[in-house]
Structure 1
Amino acid sequence: MILKSDVLPEAMIFDLDGTLFETESVLLEAYHKAFDRLRQEGFYEGETPPQRLILSSLGMLLEQIWEVVLPAADSLTRQHANDWLLHYQLELLNSGKGRMYPGVLPTLRRLKDMGIRLFVASNGLEEYVKAVIRSQGMSRLFEGLYSAGEFQSATKADLVGRLLGDFGITSAWMIGDRKSDVEAGAANGLVVVGCQYSGFSGTGELAGAQYRISAFSELESLLP
């Protein structure tokens, strides 16, 4: 039995990768293309690092991701890896690839119809975050798309705090699949909904979330 909230939130703030967007639907192909390009340009030798490294790093800030994937690489190599990964992700998104999790679009439309303000807060790059939302035809649903890449936020908690202040929001839910989402919600006094369907979360990573959902559409069932 899922317990309902007693209060309808003024706003909902969503993580992107692993919460709204099935990241691997473009990430893995772009990942392999990026390393092919790095080898061609002489920045990298050997086999492409295992996919599990990039997948387990989703939700981290970019510099943290490359510390996991390329721990022995210098800053120039990591920057080239980052640039080519973004390039190929955008290329794939613009070609029509990529998909949201089941139920995301109709659920968001109903939430907006209820008068709930919708936002995205992601640790990703600005171009990527906006390209995902635009490619899925969802731009009109969101009042703001906040990314660590655009605002150079040190933590997701800082990013969410800035969003709340910019829009004058006093009551909101934070919805995400990683520890950084739980921490961002807790630091800003928000209700946290942990998403368990992506498979990216580690054991205990969603501890502290007031609610947990196994499918995006379950979000509506938490509302009064």
Structure 2
Amino acid sequence: MRTVIFDLDGTLADTSADLLAAANAAFDLAGHGAPLAADDALTAFLGGRAMLRLGATRLGLGWDEEEISRRYPVLLEAYDGAIDTHTRLYPGALDAVQALRSDGIAVGICTNKPDHLAEKLLQRLGVRDLFGVMVGANTLAVRKPDPAPLFHAISGVGGDPSRAVLIGDTETDRRTGRAANVPVVLVTFGPEGAGVTRLEPEGLLHDYATLRSVVAPFVDRV
């Protein structure tokens, strides 16, 4: 089975504004204001703890990893309560996924977002039913860049790793593909833009209108 697996944040949807708002809410509740801004989007796509580390450093708080972990649930609760205020699918993403399905290609999600939040966001965006599987941060005991979640996603839609490709936006996705020996296509419309070329992925996606042609060399192999 030909298979395309998608990362979620920064790949299918621009979630950065809502993620940053949740992190700022965690700082504000602790009496520290809102240290993160829109241009911190790249950090947002590295996860909640990364945002807390950046904000704490910026504020000179000296939080260690134990304190970061203690504050993390506060961020998650804030995000859960306002998960889709600003989040939108990237232009053309919906049509591109539907076109893959119409062509008989299996599609799934492999994200480091906590499972319940990923499921909730996909439902809110109205696209959950398009994906045959959703593998999140706590589906397995490990997460990306460990290859196990990607293999789990591929097998979950009846796919074959030799005819699969991962669509992502960060170094984490690139490392996951290398570990799994699965080609990776990185989007250039995420927060790092064309800077993802430094990661030397097997492919680049500049516009969802070209997705089918970009993944063809990987999924159409015989």
TM class by shorter-chain length?
0.7 to 0.9
**Aligned partner of 2:77: which letter?**
H
SS at match of 2:110: strand
Evaluate the alpha carbon distance shift between residue 108 and residue 155 of structure 1 in structure 2; reply closer, same or farther with a 3 A threshold. Answer: closer
Residue in structure 2 matched with residue 13 of structure 1 by the alignment: 5
Listed as ranges, the matches of 1:70-219 within 5 Å are 70=56, 72-75=62-65, 77-93=67-83, 97-156=86-145, 157-170=147-160, 171-200=163-192, 203-204=195-196, 207-219=199-211
* 2:219 corresponding residue in structure 1: none
Check the 8 A contact 2:150/2:180 in 1, yes or no: yes
What percentage of residue pairs aligned between the two structures are identical?
21
In the superposition, the TM-score normalised over structure 2's length comes to 0.80
**Alpha-carbon contact 2:7-2:109 (below 8 Å) kept:** yes
Q: Name the aligned partner's letter for residue 139 of structure 1.
A: R
Mapped to 1, the partners of 2:46 and 2:19 lie a distance apart of: 15
| Aligned amino acid, residue 93 of structure 1 | I
Q: CA RMSD in A?
A: 2.7
Give, in whole Å, the separation in 1 of the partners of 2:44 and 2:112.
9
Distance 2:14 2:149 in 1: 22
Q: Alpha-carbon deviation of 1:141?
A: 0.6
Residues 203, 106 of structure 1: CA spacing in aligned structure 2 closer, same or farther, 3 A cutoff? closer
Please state whether the residue corresponding to 2:89 is helix, strand or coil: coil
Equivalent position amino acid for 1:158 in 2: A
* TM-score calculated relative to the size of structure 1: 0.79
Q: Deviations over 1:174-208 (max 9, x none)?
A: 10111111121122222211101012368456523
Distance change >3 Å, CA 154–CA 221, structure 1 → 2: closer
In the alignment, is the contact (CA less than 8 A) between 1:34 and 1:88 conserved in 2?
yes
The amino acid that maps onto 1:32 is N
Provide closer, same or farther for how the CA distance between residues 53 and 83 of structure 1 changes in structure 2, counting only shifts above 3 A. farther
2:220 paired residue number: none
Distance 1:103 1:211, change over 3 A: same
Unaligned runs of 5+ in 1: 1-8, 40-45
Distance in 1 of aligned mates of 2:152 and 2:199:
24
Aligned residues: 209
User: Is 1:60 the equivalent of 2:65?
Assistant: no
- Residue 26 of structure 1 deviates from its aligned partner by 1.7
In structure 2, what is the Cα distance between the partners aligned to 1:14 and 1:192? Answer: 10
Deviation at 1:57, TM superposition (A): 2.6
Distance 1:31 1:62, change over 3 A: closer
More helix by share: 2
